Chains A and B, each alone.
Chain A
Amino acid sequence: MSGGLVLYDLPGPRARRRQTMLAIVAGIAVLGVIALVLYRLNQQGQFAAQLWDPLVNPSDKDFSAVWSLIGNGLANTMKAAALAITFSLSVGTVIGVARLMLGKWSRMPVVGFIELFRGLPVVISIFFASRVLPDMGVNLSNWPGGEGLWFVVIGLTAYNSVILAEILRSGVNALPKGQREAASAIGLSGMQTMGLILLPQAVRIMLPALISQLVVILKDTSLAAVLGVYPELLNSAKYIYLNLNNPIQSLIVVGTIFVVINWTLSQLAGWVEQRLSRSTRSPGEETDDEAHYIIDTAEMRQ
């Protein structure tokens, strides 16, 4: 709803005054809770310099080792996420188009594939990649980046490609029927209609959703650490606190890194969304709503 859904009347002067009071009271309450938490943490010695220094003080002897570990983990996380999103996108397009173009019965295997991988926990997909592929004689150890990276990428792709396929499908379905009809009317084949008319519009609508899915993929790379196959960011945090005994501090730092990166990506998604809705404002109000609805919800399908 780009115009903004107005669920309430604009507050008058008295309501505004009341809200200001409420904001101040709530603000004080929140500050009070934060102060209490900090006080308690301090009491438990969680602000001791030896716990924080390796993370925040450049002159600490472990500082450079700690941050090169974090940097490595971050680079690995980004690498796996970037590859996984690329592959998920291409595989997802193929699956999505197959589901849209095939007949009711011939698309059954595709639907089965989608349902299967949508229902499997990603941890299990990654495990299967690391276990079943070598059994089938597929040797990934010579691939650039090592086999661990590819197990993660394959496991993430198996799951996210079907999610992206579904996003794309709803994108195509949300397009006005006239688009497809007009394409047929000028003599385009089914494949041409899909490739030249429908997909470009669907992808355009879904671009923010695709970026949002990157947030999910980025977070899911951390599942690889459970199997010990890939040294990503959360894994780095584990080695840091096992060596330095500062779990709370390390996870605050690494958790913040995750939030900042993912928040930046979400903002990027929002920015792309805004740009697109400005340039493609369609006269049909329903499709506009529908597109928004899909964009808003796509990032939750994880």
Chain B
Amino acid sequence: MRTKALIALLAAGALALAGCGSDSTGGSTSDPVKSVDTSTFEAGSTMAKLAAAGTIKIGTKFDQPGFGLKGLSGAPEGFDVDVAKIIAGAMGISADNIEWVETPSKVREEVIEQGKADMVVATYTINDKRKERISFAGPYYVAGQQLMVAADDNTITGPESLKDNPDVKVCSVVGSTPAENIKQYLANDSQLVTFDIYDKCASALRNKQVGVVTTDNVILLGFVAESDGGFKLVGDQFTDEPYGIGIEKGDTAFCEFINTTLKDNEEAYNQAWASTAGAVEGAAAATLPPADACA
């Protein structure tokens, strides 16, 4: 971490020496955006500040395969991570100069409010309660909640059949939105089993301790692909989960910049999807949804 900060500092210094108008091409070849003119940013805007600093702090999950998972080498990988890199790249910040901040679900708002991250890309569903404290750019992807069962299970066909089978345990993550959503379909509260990460739900389904795992379909597809035909998805998706990018409340200019950047880089966006969460069998190609108005 310290060396990373040092590199960031050196890079910032180099940028300052070279003058603000210079465009940084970044060191990493995997950067989705090759060269940017950062001089067009309005003075005082978040983009101008970040571009001048040459470094950005981005909050993401470190334990969500397909979206944000810290690899063995230390850097996080996944769709959220790649989307974040596209946006950072548009400000002339290379992937090497991004400082990744681990952001579990329960502290996402805090991380933004306290300025521990300049933006949060962490399978972050846009909703009104959260908008009271922060602002969202995007959505950049619309997921939906679905059910995953063992491949040889024919009793559970969708959320409606859960009430009729009260002995079938349903697994999700403690305190998550999917865990809240599924409650209305359950016969009683004890039908719900919660863990701290979805990976444990998948293990529980494999050793038949639970009958169903529920969360956003894209996360489930990752487990289906990993299971070698052991799991399958059933029923239609019964919620819409628009993933947004969390930023400081009221930063409209930054929000619009993010939305424009994503629209202008659809190719990079599609490629990011195809090489991460979209790489699993059965995942549909992602299309960038129309952005909400920035407020």
Residues in A lying within 8 Å of B, measured CB to CB: 62, 65-66, 69, 131, 134-135, 146, 226-229, 231, 238-245, 247
Contact = CB atoms under 8 A, between A and B. Distances in A.
Given A228-B62, A238-B63, A243 B104 contact: no
A247 B196 CA distance: 14
Interface residues on B, range: 20 to 34
A243 B69 contact: yes
Interface in B228-285: none
Interface in B16-63: 62-63
B107 A228 contact: yes
Contacts of B184: none
Nearest to B74: A69
B73 A65 contact: yes
Contacts, number: 45
Contact of B110 (A131, A244, A247): A131
A242 B63 CA distance: 7
Contact of A247 (B72, B102, B203): B203
What are the 3 tightest A-B residue pairs by CB atom distance, in nearest-first order?
A: A65-B72, A228-B102, A228-B104
A124 B203 CA distance: 29
B114 interface: yes
A243 B1 contact: no
Residue of A62, A146, A238, A240 most packed against chain B (CB within 10 A): A238
Contacts of B104: 227-228
Residue of B69, B103, B107, B226 most packed against chain A (CB within 10 A): B107
Contacts of A228: 62, 102-104, 107
Interface in B87-106: 102-104
A146 B71 contact: no
Given A241-B199, A243-B71, 19 more contacts: A62-B72, A69-B72, A134-B114, A146-B2, A227-B107, A228-B62, A228-B107, A238-B197, A239-B62, A239-B69, A239-B70, A240-B72, A242-B197, A242-B199, A243-B69, A245-B226, A247-B199, A247-B200, A247-B203
Contacts of B114: 134-135
B178 interface: no
B65 interface: yes
Interface string B97-140: 00000111001001000100000000000000000000000000
A239 B102 CA distance: 12
15 contacts: A65-B72, A69-B74, A131-B110, A134-B114, A146-B2, A228-B103, A231-B102, A238-B197, A239-B62, A242-B70, A242-B199, A244-B72, A245-B226, A247-B200, A247-B203
A62 B200 CA distance: 22
A34 B102 CA distance: 40
A146 B199 contact: no
B40 to A, nearest CB: 31
Nearest to B76: A239
Contacts of B2: 146
A15 to B, nearest CB: 45
A239 B63 contact: yes
Contacts of A247: 199-200, 203
A226 B197 CA distance: 11
Contacts of A242: 63, 65, 69-70, 197, 199
A131 B200 CA distance: 28
A43 to B, nearest CB: 12
